[in-house]
């Protein structure tokens, strides 16, 4: 029985990353099979033989922890960009954009 990609990701979180939180990623197919990085060849073979796409599932908890460790003194609010976009013309409807150009 095939599962959705979201279900596969949840299964990886529950079964692979819960058991080994230091794994950066794992591999999976929608038939529910999951493989640790050391079993990449087995994952590729299984996907090929089953004619399924092989998905790389990133351990987001591990990635977030790595980011924190790289910048332990960083202000967590500094990652929020509050600046005005450089190109605001994309936000202006076409008709308004034309009328603003003719006024100049």
Residue 95, pLDDT > 70, answer: no
C-alpha neighbours within 13 Å on the C-beta side of residue 87: 1
Q: Is residue 11 very low, low, confident or very high in pLDDT (cuts 50, 70, 90)?
A: very high
Using CB atoms within 10 A of its CB, is residue 76 exposed (0-12), middle (13-18) or buried (19+)? exposed
Residue 71, pLDDT > 90, answer: no
Go through the chain and tell me how many residues it has.
104
Model confidence pTM above 0.75: no
Q: Is residue 67 very low, low, confident or very high in pLDDT (cuts 50, 70, 90)?
A: low
């Amino acid at each position: 029985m095939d599962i959705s990609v979201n279900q596969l990701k949840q299964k990886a979180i529950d079964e692979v990353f819960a058991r080994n939180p230091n794994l950066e990623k794992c591999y999976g197919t929608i038939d529910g099979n999951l493989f640790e990085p050391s079993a990449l060849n087995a994952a590729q073979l299984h996907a090929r033989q089953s004619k399924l796409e092989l998905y790389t599932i990133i351990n987001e908890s591990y990635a977030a922890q790595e980011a924190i460790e790289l910048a332990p003194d960083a202000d967590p609010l500094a990652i929020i960009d509050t600046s005005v976009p450089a190109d605001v013309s994309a936000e202006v409807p076409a008709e308004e954009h034309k009328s603003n150009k003719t006024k100049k």
